DNA sequence: CCATATTATCATGGGCATATGATATTAGAG
DNA sequence: CTCTAATATCATATGCCCATGATAATATGG
């Protein structure tokens, strides 16, 4: 898996919430069932997304989760980055902490092109982009 | 980390062994110290690479590990794939088991280009390629 | 044969991601 | 005010990756 289980859950859940036509709040339980994700586990994940300012949460009846912003202003990096370290240590294939254009490891130049392509995908793709695609 | 700790150890160790000028066997202990990797742990990892036909091992005095083939005939996919699932489930960003051009998830088309680039890197880059680069 | 260096293997434990279960808190509806 | 549905939080379990330690098996050199 390229993403951790938790990050994958988060992304799928955000997409499901974003699909809600009128921005109505969606219950965590419904999303969990719809996506086949452990309900209690998803609950924590959604809460974390809310604290990160990606979702808004409301308690009580009629409560649930909704996007905190329009889908075209939420990048995949924001969602996934909350759980996985997309940038940072991911940079060097051989795990060196000091690996740059100036002090490259033997894989640096070849790997850089791939890593940059991947980073750009998460940085530039928005939730809305994916909804349009589906 | 893009690679598991074990796969990263394996790759770094294979590169170190490949650097040995005349294909002389290198002791696991020496590599472990040289790379700062737990010796006992690396031992098992190297053994696994030997069973996979990537390294050759010899016991006793003058024993150690050496490449089983020339470095330009060992791809990174062979080394890393022994420990991490590079292809397979890695294909779908959203974790679907059935995700293809015919039955795509919403991320499929955008993600495919990135994933293919990464797959090509591991498939087409050889140990010798990296040694030349360093 | 014996001593020694090295890989091969087994047994065990720690830590983290993942998951489950139970309870507390909050807010709407009648 | 009370009931209920939903999020928020705490406590606990589990499985795997990573790591450590100890022992067995094997081969070389004297």
Q: Residue-wise over A81-113: b if at least 16 C-beta within 10 A, else e?
A: bbbbebeeebbbbbbbeebeeeebbbbbebbbe
pLDDT tens-digit profile of B45-96? Answer: 999 999 999 999 999 999 999 999 999 999 999 999 999 988 766 689 999 9
pLDDT score at A89: 59
pLDDT score at B89: 60
- B121 and A129 within 8 Å at the Cβ level: the answer is no
Residues of B in contact with A109 (CB under 8 A): 133
pLDDT score at A88: 65
- Nearest CB to A1: which of B95, B111, B117? B95
> Is there contact between A83 and strand C, defined as CB under 7 Å from any strand atom?
yes
pLDDT tens-digit profile of B13-50? Answer: 999 999 986 778 999 999 999 999 999 999 999 999 99
- What is the average per-residue pLDDT within A30-52? 96
Structural domain tally of chain B? 1
- What is the average per-residue pLDDT within B92-120? 93
Answer whether residue A91 shows pLDDT above 90.
no
Q: Which residue of A has its CA nearest to B125?
A: A110
Query: A91-105, B8-22, B85-99 — which is least confidently predicted?
Result: B85-99
Answer whether residue B122 shows pLDDT above 90.
yes
Answer whether residue A53 shows pLDDT above 70.
yes
Q: What is the CATH number of the domain that holds B39?
A: 1.10.10.10
pLDDT score at B55: 97
> Is there contact between A2 and strand C, defined as CB under 7 Å from any strand atom?
no
Written as six digits, the tokens of B40 are 């006992």
- What is the average per-residue pLDDT within A111-123? 94
> Is there contact between B35 and strand D, defined as CB under 7 Å from any strand atom?
no
pLDDT score at A15: 97
pLDDT score at A21: 66
Parallel/antiparallel/unpaired status of strands A55-58 and A64-67: antiparallel
d(CA A34, CA A50): 20
Residues of chain B that touch chain A, judged by Cβ-Cβ distance less than 8 Å: 1-3, 8, 11-12, 15, 85, 89-90, 93-95, 105-111, 113-115, 117-118, 121, 125, 129-131, 133-134
- What is the average per-residue pLDDT within A115-131? 96
Residue A70: pLDDT band with limits 50, 70, 90: very high
Query: A74-78, A84-88, B26-30 — which is least confidently predicted?
Result: A84-88
Question: What's the Rg (C-alpha) of chain B?
Answer: 17
Mark residues 45-74 of chain A whose C-beta is closer than 7 A to nucleic acid strand D.
46-47, 50, 57-61, 63-65
- B134 and A3 within 8 Å at the Cβ level: the answer is no
> Is there contact between B1 and strand C, defined as CB under 7 Å from any strand atom?
no
The DSSP string of B55-110 is EEEE-STT-EEEESS-GGG-BHHHHHHTTS--SGGGG-TT--SS-SSSS--TTHHH
Answer whether residue A1 shows pLDDT above 70.
no
- B90 and A2 within 8 Å at the Cβ level: the answer is yes
- B117 and A114 within 8 Å at the Cβ level: the answer is yes
DSSP state at residue A71: G
- What is the average per-residue pLDDT within A20-35? 90
**Structural domain that includes position A104:** 5-133
Query: A60-74, B21-35, B109-123 — which is least confidently predicted?
Result: B21-35
Are the C-beta atoms of A82 and A54 separated by less than 8 Å? yes
Å between B57 CA and nearest CA of chain A: 24
> Is there contact between B58 and strand C, defined as CB under 7 Å from any strand atom?
yes
């Amino acid at each position: 898996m390229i993403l951790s289980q938790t990050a994958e859950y988060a992304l799928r859940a955000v997409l499901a919430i974003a699909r809600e036509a009128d921005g109505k709040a969606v219950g965590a339980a419904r999303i969990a069932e719809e996506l086949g994700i452990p309900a209690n586990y998803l609950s924590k994940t959604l809460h974390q997304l809310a604290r990160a300012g990606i979702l808004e949460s409301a308690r009580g009846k009629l409560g649930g989760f909704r996007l905190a912003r329009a889908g075209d202003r939420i990048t995949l990096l924001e969602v996934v980055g909350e759980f996985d370290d997309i940038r940072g240590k991911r940079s060097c294939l051989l795990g060196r902490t000091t690996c740059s254009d100036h002090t490259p490891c033997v894989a640096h130049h070849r790997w850089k092109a791939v890593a940059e392509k991947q980073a750009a995908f998460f940085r530039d793709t928005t939730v809305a982009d994916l909804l349009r695609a589906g």
